[in-house]
Structure formats: structure tokens, C-alpha cells
């Protein structure tokens, strides 16, 4: 077993090193330029930015680099809003959905995973995601945040308008943190606490960072292809959903699943959590504009109306299928709408956003009912049914409603068919990459410390057996 573990670890290390070295190759000269609203790109220091700028004609002054205090204030606010999404938003949303004996275990997993990834992001994650110009992965030039100072600047989507690189690092750290925390919902109520942390570290390194670089990083493969993912449909939601689905299969079903009732213990807390997610998502989506401009306002409005449309769609769907619309359904619909509009929020018009929300509401309802039965996995809190299905819907429909004729921000020569192919490629790459890395990561963790708790521990509940606490005093 030790030999197998050593072989796997060495293999992963060699693969990752090779990928990093291989990225020195230049992208094809005929590659399409990245759309302005595709994703944030890591920026050099102010001096480097100035040096790289085209020389101004003789006698004409170079445009001055501007750092607007309003943009800085907005990005700090947006970062705080994303933290609110996770703590307490996601934690309470998930916590209310599990049984009371596992409430604290889910809260603990979300909080500690977010904290772990935030630290790893500062140590090496930021550098690998946004450093260098590789097609698949960045470099270690900024490991330990070397060169990131109060003087270094990050690009926005407006030429010569910059923001402090420090706040860009912090903003992107919250994206990495919530992505890994989302996975917790798939294997809730039956996984060892240490296994969650070890898996999160491995998957973050070998799945989140490469996907983030390919979609958002300088020279990234999907960025160069022109893939549109404004705030993380592929990087965050599809990526996390695939890892969660693989985990649900590899850990197996909860004891009594399908035979015993396992209702949420507090839909009140779930509704509070969903509401906090909705509020925080305005920072997630509108903050991805990186400036306090009309672009942020567009993402803000789209986040509002798409989510509202998804809530209505889910409620209508439940009423038609079951005769009653539920609070759990409304909360789930809100999350489905938020997920689906994420990649599209800066590229589509409000009417397109409403259509995306309606489609996501209906399809994600099917995702947690019909599709879940077809897959046969015990995805405890329906991470794939909501984040996977919603992420795919949003990513593909971005390629439709970004068309200027449908109210989107695409160029006049925008081709829906061509963009759909690029969007589909991004979806497939993310799904396959995440699934393969997750399977290897779960296997490594299982060999080192084991994945699943014992039957006795699962029956008693993870709050007491792993944390020595109870969420409620009886």
C-alpha cells in the first residue's frame, strides 16, 4: 500500500511539474482574443505595467495609470460579501439541511475548509492560478506572495485603470475557499473530518488551480479560446459539483438511505442561509467586474432578476409535480438561479438573465429528483443537482444570450454557434478534469487516513463523535 501511495504521489508531482514547464509555449497566433468581460487577469506591478504599455507617439504623453478609491472600496466590500456567502451563508444553508446530530460537523467543515484554502491560496495558490502565462497552470513566481506589495497593481477591464493587487488576491481567495466548501454538501454526515481537509488540499492544488488558470489566468487555454465565464460557472460550480458527485459514489450511501426518512432538521436555518447566499452573491458576481461601473451594475441586476425567476420556476414546478410549493424548494431555486447566472452575469442582458433563471429553476428541480435517481448516488445536499446542472445550464446559455441581438454584450460579429462550441468545450474539460483529480485524491486520502466514519459514529452523529459538541441542548 505504501508503494502504491508513493507511486501515486510521485506521478501527480511529475504531472504537475511537467504541466507547469510545458506552459512556456506560446498560444496559437490565430487564437481569438479574450473578450473584455471574460474574467479577471493577474496584473504586474505598476512599473511593469507602464513598461509593457505601447510607446506613445513622440510628443504625446502616456496615459496615466489610475487607481480609483471607489473601485478599491467596492472590491473590499465585494470581498466581504463573498465571505458572508460562505460564513454564515453556505454553512447555515447546509447545516439546516442535515439531521440535527450532524449540524455542527457541517458548520465546522465549511468554516475550516474555507480557512485552510485561504491560507494555501496565499502560500502558493495565487501564484499558480494567476502567475505566468501558461496554457494550463501558472508559475511559482509569486509563491508566498513574493512581489505582492502595497505598490503592486492588478488589471481591471479598463485600460490604465488598476486596483491594488492585494485586494485582488483577497477577492480571488474567497472564490477558491467557497469552491472547496461547496463540495462538503455531497458527502455530508458520513466522512471523517481529517479526510475532508486532506482531500480539499489535494483537490484545490490539482483541480481548482489549473481550471482557474485556464479560464481566468494570463495565457489560459480556455481564456484564449474565448470562453465566457464572468464569475465562475466552470471554475467554481461545475468544478465543485463533479468533485462532490465522485465523492458521493466513493463514500457510498448513508446508513438507512432510501429506507429511513432523513428530512432537514431546520428549514428556518436553510432559508436564512439561502438568503445570505443571495445577498453575498452580489459581491461574487458584481465584484467580478473589478470596477464600480455600469458593468458591475449589469451583473448586479442580472443576479437579482435571474435568481428571482429561478425561485418562481422551482415553486411552479413543485406545485405542478407535487401539488404544493415548499420552502425548501424556494431556497433551492434561489441557489439554482444564482449558480446559473454566475458565468453570464456580465455578458447578458436582464431579459436573458430572466430566461436563464427560469430554465435553471426547472432543470435543477429535475436534477435533484429525476436525474438524482438516474445517477443512483447519495449526494446528500444535492450539490450536483443544483451546482452541476445549474452551472452547465448557465455556461451554455451564456453562449446564447451574450449575443447583442438578444440583449447581450457580445460584439457585432458574435456567433452563437461558435460561442456555444467554446462554452461546451469548457464544460467538458472542467467535468473530466475535476472528476479524475477527485477520484485520485479520494483514493489517496482513503489509503492514508480513511474516508468514511464507522457505523457506530455515523449512527451517533458526527457532532459528538468528531467534535465533542451538540448543536442543541436537550
CATH number at residue 336: 1.10.3430.10
* Within a domain: 23: no
C-alpha cell at 382: 444535492
* Within a domain: 31: no
DSSP H helices, 164-266, are 165-183, 193-203, 209-216, 221-225, 239-251
Place of cell 502616456: 62
66 contact partners, CB below 8 Å, separation of at least 6: 160, 161, 162
Phi, psi of 452 (to 5 degrees): -100, 145
CA dihedral 167, 168, 170, 176 (to 10 degrees): 170
Q: What is the pLDDT of residues 94-129, one digit of tens each?
A: 999 999 999 999 999 999 999 999 999 999 999 999
Q: What is the pLDDT of residue 57?
A: 52
Asked if residues 20 and 142 have their Cβ atoms less than 8 Å apart, the reply is no
Q: Which of 409, 433, 462 is nearest to 246 (CA)?
A: 433
pTM of the model: 0.87
Could you check whether the bond before residue 88 is cis, i.e. omega within 30 degrees of 0?
Answer: yes
* Within a domain: 56: no
- Distance of alpha carbon 305 from alpha carbon 295, whole angstroms: 16
* Within a domain: 6: no
Domain count, the chain: 1
Helices (H) and strands (E) in the chain, counts: 21, 3
| Average pLDDT estimate for 399-423 | 96
Q: Which of 389, 386, 364, 331 is nearest to 92 (CA)?
A: 331
Angle at 317 between CA 313 and CA 318, to 5 degrees: 120
| pLDDT band per the 50, 70, 90 thresholds, residue 342 | very high
79 contact partners, CB below 8 Å, separation of at least 6: 167, 170, 171, 174, 283, 287
* Within a domain: 25: no
Asked if residues 385 and 371 have their Cβ atoms less than 8 Å apart, the reply is yes
Q: What is the pLDDT of residues 289-338, one digit of tens each?
A: 999 999 999 999 999 999 999 999 999 999 999 999 999 999 999 999 99
| Average pLDDT estimate for 334-350 | 98
Q: What is the pLDDT of residue 53?
A: 41
Higher-pLDDT residue of 362, 30 = 362
Cα-based distances in Å from 278 to 133, 172, 202, 293: 34, 19, 29, 21
| Residue 232 confidence (pLDDT) above 90 | yes
Q: What is the pLDDT of residue 438?
A: 98
Q: Which of 264, 233, 297 is nearest to 102 (CA)?
A: 264
| pLDDT band per the 50, 70, 90 thresholds, residue 473 | confident
Domain membership of residue 456 as a residue range: 69-467
Asked if residues 173 and 118 have their Cβ atoms less than 8 Å apart, the reply is yes
Crossing angle for the helix pair 350-367 and 294-322, to the nearest 10 degrees = 40
* Within a domain: 4: no
- Distance of alpha carbon 362 from alpha carbon 382, whole angstroms: 15
Instruction: Write down how long the chain is.
Output: 474
| Average pLDDT estimate for 160-187 | 98
Cα-based distances in Å from 84 to 81, 122, 233, 330, 467: 5, 20, 19, 20, 24
* Within a domain: 11: no
Strand partners, 155: 162
Asked if residues 211 and 358 have their Cβ atoms less than 8 Å apart, the reply is no
For 73, the enclosing helix (H) or strand (E) is helix 69-84
* Within a domain: 53: no
The mean pLDDT of the chain is 90
Instruction: Strands of 69-176 (E only): list them.
Output: 153-155, 161-164
Phi, psi of 437 (to 5 degrees): -60, -40
Amino acid at each position: 500500500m505504501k508503494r502504491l501511495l508513493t507511486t501515486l504521489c510521485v506521478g501527480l508531482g511529475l504531472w504537475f511539474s511537467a504541466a507547469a514547464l510545458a506552459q512556456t509555449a506560446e498560444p496559437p497566433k490565430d487564437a481569438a482574443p479574450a473578450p473584455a468581460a471574460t474574467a479577471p487577469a493577474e496584473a504586474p506591478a505598476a512599473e511593469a505595467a507602464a513598461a509593457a504599455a505601447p510607446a506613445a507617439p513622440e510628443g504625446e504623453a502616456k496615459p496615466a495609470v489610475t487607481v480609483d478609491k471607489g473601485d478599491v472600496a467596492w472590491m473590499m466590500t465585494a470581498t466581504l460579501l463573498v465571505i458572508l456567502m460562505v460564513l454564515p451563508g453556505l454553512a447555515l444553508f447546509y447545516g439546516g439541511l442535515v439531521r440535527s446530530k450532524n449540524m455542527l460537523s457541517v458548520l465546522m467543515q465549511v468554516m475550516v475548509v474555507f480557512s485552510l484554502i485561504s491560507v494555501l491560496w496565499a502560500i502558493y495558490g495565487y501564484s499558480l492560478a494567476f502567475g505566468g502565462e501558461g496554457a494550463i497552470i501558472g508559475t511559482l513566481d509569486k509563491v508566498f506572495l513574493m512581489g505582492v506589495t502595497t505598490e503592486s497593481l492588478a488589471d481591471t477591464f479598463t485600460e490604465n485603470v488598476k486596483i491594488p493587487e492585494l485586494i485582488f488576491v483577497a477577492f480571488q481567495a474567497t472564490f477558491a475557499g467557497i469552491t472547496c466548501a461547496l463540495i462538503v454538501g455531497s458527502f455530508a454526515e458520513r466522512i471523517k473530518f481529517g479526510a475532508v481537509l486532506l482531500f480539499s488540499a489535494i483537490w484545490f492544488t490539482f483541480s481548482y488551480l489549473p481550471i482557474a488558470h485556464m479560464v481566468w489566468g494570463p495565457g489560459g487555454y480556455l481564456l484564449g479560446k474565448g470562453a465566457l465565464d464572468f464569475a465562475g460557472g466552470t471554475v467554481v460550480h461545475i468544478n465543485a459539483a463533479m468533485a462532490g458527485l465522485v465523492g458521493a459514489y466513493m463514500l457510498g450511501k448513508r446508513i438507512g438511505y432510501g429506507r429511513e426518512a432523513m428530512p432537514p432538521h431546520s428549514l428556518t436555518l436553510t432559508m436564512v442561509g439561502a438568503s445570505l447566499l443571495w445577498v453575498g452573491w452580489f459581491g461574487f458576481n458584481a465584484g467580478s467586474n473589478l470596477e464600480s461601473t455600469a458593468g458591475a451594475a449589469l451583473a448586479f441586476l442580472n443576479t437579482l432578476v435571474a435568481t428571482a425567476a429561478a425561485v418562481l420556476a422551482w415553486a411552479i414546478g413543485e406545485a405542478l409535480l407535487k401539488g404544493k410549493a415548499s420552502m425548501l424548494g424556494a431556497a433551492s431555486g434561489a441557489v439554482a438561479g444564482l449558480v446559473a447566472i454566475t458565468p453570464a452575469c456580465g455578458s447578458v442582458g436582464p431579459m436573458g438573465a430572466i430566461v436563464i433563471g427560469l430554465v435553471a429553476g426547472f432543470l435543477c428541480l429535475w436534477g435533484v429528483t429525476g436525474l438524482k435517481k438516474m445517477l443512483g448516488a447519495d449526494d446528500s445536499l444535492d450539490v450536483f443537482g443544483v451546482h452541476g446542472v445549474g452551472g452547465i445550464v448557465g455556461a451554455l446559455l451564456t453562449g446564447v444570450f451574450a449575443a447583442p441581438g438578444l440583449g447581450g454584450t457580445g460584439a457585432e460579429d458574435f456567433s452563437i454557434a461558435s460561442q456555444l462550441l467554446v462554452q461546451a468545450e469548457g464544460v467538458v474539460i472542467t467535468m473530466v478534469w475535476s472528476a479524475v483529480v477527485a477520484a485520485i485524491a479520494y483514493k489517496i486520502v482513503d489509503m492514508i487516513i480513511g474516508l468514511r466514519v464507522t457505523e457506530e459514529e455515523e449512527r451517533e452523529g458526527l457532532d459528538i463523535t468528531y467534535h465533542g459538541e451538540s448543536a442543541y441542548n436537550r
